[in-house]
Amino acid sequence: MALQGIKPCRISKELRVSHGCVSKILSKWRETGSIHPGKIGGSKPKKSLPSVITAISIYKRWRPSMFSWEIRDRLLSDGMTEFCFCIHG
């Protein structure tokens, strides 16, 4: 309808939705070329700090069979406070 030159106000009346709804959909269309919703949920990959990555590399070179819980404990005992934000209990 918008491509035919019909104004958002008229579109909203014909579709019986709010003007804001039509405006949001048209804005999304102009920005992305799509009216489909974006990705909802999911988990974002956690980013490790370079100092933590370096420390883990050293630990694994020193002892390749080291378990993840041992690495975590070692990071904490070595004072890697940057690592503390991602510990969940």
What was the pLDDT predicted at 82? 66
> Does residue 19 form part of some domain?
yes
Q: Model confidence over 11-62: pLDDT tens digits?
A: 888 889 898 888 888 888 888 877 777 777 777 777 778 888 899 999 999 9
> Does residue 39 form part of some domain?
no
Choose among 1, 38, 4: nearest CA to 17: 1
> Does residue 74 form part of some domain?
yes
* Domain total of the chain: 2
Whether 80 and 51 have beta carbons less than 8 Å apart is answered as: yes
Which residue range is the domain that position 60 belongs to? 50-86
85 is written with which tokens?
């934000």
> Does residue 69 form part of some domain?
yes
For 80, the enclosing helix (H) or strand (E) is none
> Does residue 18 form part of some domain?
yes
Distance CA 57, CA 88 (A): 22
> Does residue 41 form part of some domain?
no
Q: Can you give the three-state secondary structure of 26-47, one letter per residue?
A: HHHHHHHCCCCCCCCCCCCCCC
The enclosing domain of 23 has a CATH number of 1.10.10.10
